[in-house]
Amino acid sequence: MTGGAGFVGTWLCRQLLDDGWHVLVVDNLVTGTRAAVDRLSCHPNFSFLEADVARPFLVEGAVDLVMHLASPASPVDYAALPVETMLVGSQGTMHALDLAQLNGARFVLASTSEVYGDPLVHPQPEHYWGNVNPVGPRSVYDESKRFAEALTTAYRSSRSVDTGIARIFNTYGPGMRADDGRMIPAFMTQALRGEPLTVAGDGSQTRSLCFVTDTTAGLRALAASSCAGPVNLGGQDEVSVLELAETIRRLAGSRSRIRFVDLPEDDPKVRRPDTSRAQQLLGWAPSVGVEEGLLRTLEWFDQQLAEPSTRGAGSRQRTALTSDESALGA
Ligand code: NAD
């Protein structure tokens, strides 16, 4: 698994290890963490290779499945790493595909809803080609994933690699970095610290949220199939960004105010997947409700915040962490 030291990859690794797989993570820790690797390292079937997959890397032994997750994924991260993002989407994808071809292995690409850009079709089905600015601030990520999808398709058609493409929509849950710049970690840490929740624009833009265990269930189902995709994986509960901020504030029992900030350039106005293909081909549908997922994530962020004085800015509802969530390092 490339990118297995990151947020989604860590969850996926643990589940695959629990299922009896031997998992080798190849990651350069550019946005993933050493702590995540250390926590996985106690498993006897886990191994780690610190390497940049945009450069050639060597894997010894047979490989049955290559899951390619390596890429900066948050707008803050890929804005800070623009060339690296393009290289991991292009050369990194090529090296991961070469590994699959060499071993006759199944290959799964973690692509993104960002391939739809600022969509003109709503909800987004897989046959929609998208509306992407090739030279905007998000283009390094959007275009590298679009290139990765095209390269994956070329390896399938011309080199007979058994490939599957997942288009992942906004995924959240315990294990996200508080400082990764994505909306949910930002709102949660702000609410828990009693700071203003920074909502971009007027907050009317929408997002559809998917709890991380639902996303990883979809990725595993795709891996176990021979489906080429692309397949959308995402939640159906579409909420405006302002509604989401207000919900998080309520669930956190926080008295933080909302502060409106400038809308970033090319920010998508709407986002909701059409997931009928995933339901038909993979039997997949998300199962964790938004409030339940948000509460589990809030609980986790609450435990991460260092200063005891900033914790629990109010008398919010509490939920028990699962053993998997506790294992993330709470
Ligand atoms: P993340 O930043 O937490 O994890 C990405 C991992 O990739 C990190 O461990 C990082 O160190 C590693 N990486 C980056 N460049 C690398 C390179 N050149 N060589 C080796 N390792 C490298 O992000 P995430 O949220 O876990 O996302 C995982 C994948 O899923 C990404 O490909 C992302 O584009 C995709 N995705 C995620 C979401 C989401 O909402 N989380 C949505 C759509 C798509």
The answer to whether residue 320 scores a pLDDT higher than 50 is no
What are the structure tokens assigned to 285, written together? 């549908």
Q: What is the pLDDT of residues 196-255, one digit of tens each?
A: 999 999 999 999 999 999 999 999 999 999 999 999 999 988 999 999 999 999 999 999
Dmax (CA) of the chain:
59
Atom of ligand 1 nearest to the CA of 33: 9
Mean pLDDT across the chain: 91
Helix or strand run (H / E) with residue 63: none
The span from the CA of 38 to the CA of 319, in Å, is 26
The answer to whether residue 328 scores a pLDDT higher than 70 is no
The answer to whether residue 324 scores a pLDDT higher than 60 is no
Residue 119 lies in a domain: yes
Residue 64 lies in a domain: yes
At residue 330 the predicted structure's pLDDT band, cuts being 50, 70 and 90, is very low
Residue 214 lies in a domain: yes
CATH number of the domain within which 304 lies = 3.40.50.720
pLDDT score at 264? 85
Q: What is the pLDDT of residues 228-244, one digit of tens each?
A: 999 999 998 899 999 99
Residue 197 lies in a domain: yes
What are the structure tokens assigned to 86, written together? 């393009």
Residue 265 lies in a domain: yes
Q: What is the pLDDT of residues 58-89, one digit of tens each?
A: 999 999 999 999 999 999 999 999 999 999 99
The span from the CA of 328 to the CA of 330, in Å, is 6
Helix or strand run (H / E) with residue 66: strand 65-68
Residue 1 lies in a domain: no
Mean pLDDT for the stretch of residues 288-299? 96
Spell out which residues line ligand 1, taking CB within 6 angstroms.
Answer: 2-3, 5-9, 27-32, 52-54, 69-73, 77, 88, 92, 110, 112, 168, 170-171
Looking at the structure of the chain, the number of domains it has is 1
Helix or strand run (H / E) with residue 110: strand 106-112
Neighbours of 94 (CB within 10 A): 19
The answer to whether residue 305 scores a pLDDT higher than 50 is yes
Which of 1, 8, 23 has most ligand 1 atoms within 8 Å of CB, for mutation? Answer: 8
pLDDT score at 180? 85
Residue type at 12? L
Residues in the chain: 330
At residue 319 the predicted structure's pLDDT band, cuts being 50, 70 and 90, is very low
Which of 11, 24, 31 has most ligand 1 atoms within 8 Å of CB, for mutation? Answer: 31
Q: Is 116 helix (H, G, I), strand (E, B) or coil?
A: helix
Residue 108 lies in a domain: yes
The catalytic residue positions are 141
Q: What is the pLDDT of residues 22-47, one digit of tens each?
A: 999 999 999 999 999 999 999 999 99
Residue 2 lies in a domain: no
User: How far apart are the two ends of the chain, measured CA to CA in Å?
Assistant: 24
Domain holding 190, by residue range, is 7-328
What strands, in cross-sheet order, belong to the sheet with 231-233?
Answer: 65-68, 106-112, 163-168, 231-233
What are the structure tokens assigned to 187, written together? 């709102």
